[in-house]
Structures are given as structure tokens and as C-alpha cells.
Amino acid sequence: MAEPELATKGPESDASAPPPPAVQQTPPAPTLSEHCTSDRPTPTGQSSTGEVTKLADIDVYISKPADYPHTPSKLLLLLTGGTGLHSVNNQIQADRFASEGYFVVMPDLFNGDAAPNASTLADEPTTPGSFLDTFKIKAAETAKSFLIDMWLARHTEEKVMPILTKVIDACKDEFADAVSHGGGVYAVGYCFGGRYILLLAGERPTVTGRGFPWSAVSTPAPDEEAGKTVVGPYIKAGAIAHATLVSRSDFEGLKAPVSLVSVENDPLFPDEVRTAGEDYMRENGVEHEVQVYPGVPHGFAVVGEYEDANIKSAQVTAYEQMLKWIKEH
């Protein structure tokens, strides 16, 4: 496979009529792709080995190293795409990190409400054979887009961040040994979950009664100079694969080291957002790495079967990139 790139007019109107006023283009609302909301086929012969349980009243999937607790482990938070907690592929992803010595906690970010139309993707899309087939496909795509937009409206930062901070606080109590052994909490995130790695890795000011609605979940530290309080960072280091819904402002206040697995020409994580983030991190001394993978689809780094050997190879490389980053920090 190609090596990933390292990146530190309308109809004419009547001549006598005045020209119509310019229409301001509204950028499209952020959304997700099929790769964020549907699983690839599970690799042949593989199944998950962890368990779903409750932590601070939140469903979590926990995967432990085989020799835990006899051998110390570091705590790793894994944040999923839209397929969520019960996706076998996501669970296998957690198990892979556990096999490397991490105590993995994968929380249900969606409170039992995984993304709509989450299903297994075939390797190649069906080619429409007739006008009616094409119409049906387009109608289905429109319906899916609407359902995903509605789903996103239910799972905003104001809903997801309290889940995460609550789980992190509970981990510090329930799994204090793992948190202590790693000197904090590590985190990896895919697709939807990728943006939240940035939020957890940042330090942000807030004012009592204003600012982030979730900021009261954890006790903020005083910032006497600004007359404000500061929340975060919540993690020691993070790794992100093909994040979605990221804006330039999500990089502001970033403190913890982050590694980015990005897809070349990814409309769900546009180049201008990524490069603005790189500029911010470089100018503010945030330790980071960015690798851009050509010729792969969004979502490629999540466990799942592909026929294309180049994609399969890139999937392995992306996992190794993320694992190496958290091991070195």
C-alpha cells in the first residue's frame, strides 16, 4: 500500500430584469457517513471476550489483560463511532488494546441509542439496474440522512460529555490501580468518538452558570488571574482515528499529546480543519503527530473485514500508530 503521508452558473434571465440578490451559501450541517454508523463484516473466526457491565450507572464494555490484576495495567478509555457499545467489532477493538496490557473501558456514549440503520456493510455497493432501482436507492439515502441528523440532535456535546466525565470519575475510584499505574487516563477514539478525545484533552475556561453545561460534573481548578475556573484536561494522552464533526474551535485549549490518523480528502474531517488544528498545536507547543492515509475510506481503522489488501494493511498500520503513541506517553 502507499505509505501514509506525514503531516506535522444558472439560466440566463431577462436582460431588463435586475440581477437577483446574491444568495449566501449555508454550509452543510455536520453529519456522519455509512462508515460511522454501520459495521464492516466481523473478521472470520473472531469474537469479543470482555463483558458489558455498569459503571456509575452507565453501561460500559470492559476488557482486561489476561494477567490482570497480577500484572499492573494502564487504564484506556475507548470511544466508539455510531455503532456503539454492542458492536462486536468495537468490542474486538477494545480486546486488541487489552491484549497489549491495557485495562479498557468502552462507555455507551449514546445511552442505548446507537446510530440508526447500523448494519453490516457489503464490500462493494450494489449497482442500480433501472430508473426505479436508482429512485429507491436515492429515497433510502435521503431517509437515512434524515434519521442520522435526528440522531445527532439527540447526542450533542451537552449529552455526551457528562457521560464521559462521570465514567472517568468512576474509573478513578473503581480502577484506581490502573489509573495510578499509568499516571492518568489514556484514551483512543474513532469517528464520532474522535472529537471527544480532543475535548477531553483540552483545558477550557468556564464561568459559573455559563460556559459548558457539563462543566459542573467534575470539580474545576481555580484560575485566579482570569477570574474564571478551568476544566480539563481529563486525559494524559489520546489517539484519534478519522474523527467526525470536528471544528477548528475543538483544538483550542488542547494540552494533552494527541496522535491523528486521518484519511486523505476526507469530507467528514476536511483538510482545512485538520491543517488549522495542526497549526494551532504547533504554535501552542502541543505534542502531536498527524498521519494522512491515502486510498482508504473513512472508518477504515475500525476492526472489520475488507477485501482490498491496501485497506487491510492500512488498518494494521493505523492501529500500530495509535498503540505506539499511547505506549510512549
Domains of the chain: 30-327 (3.40.50.1820)
**Which residue from 185, 159, 164, 141 is spatially nearest to 80, judged by alpha carbons?**
164
All three cell numbers of 138: 436515492
Q: What is the DSSP letter of 251?
A: G
Span 243-254, mean pLDDT? 95
Span 49-54, mean pLDDT? 98
Cα–Cα–Cα angle for 42, 31, 269, rounded to 5 degrees = 80
pTM to 2 decimal places: 0.82
Residue type, 37: T
User: What is the number of helices (H) and of strands (E) in the chain?
Assistant: 8, 12
3 confidence band (pLDDT: 50, 70, 90): low
The b/e string for 235-259 (b: 16+ C-beta within 10 A; e otherwise) is bbbbbbbbbbbbeeebbebbbbbbb
Q: Which helix (H) or strand (E) holds 180?
A: helix 176-182
How far, CA to CA in Å, does 100 sit from each of 71, 74, 93, 125, 189? 12, 10, 12, 35, 17
What's the confidence (pLDDT) of residue 151? Answer: 87
32 confidence band (pLDDT: 50, 70, 90): low
Which range of 47-56, 114-123, 203-212 scores highest in mean pLDDT? It is: 47-56
Q: Are 208 and 50 in contact (CB under 8 A)?
A: no
Span 5-11, mean pLDDT? 49
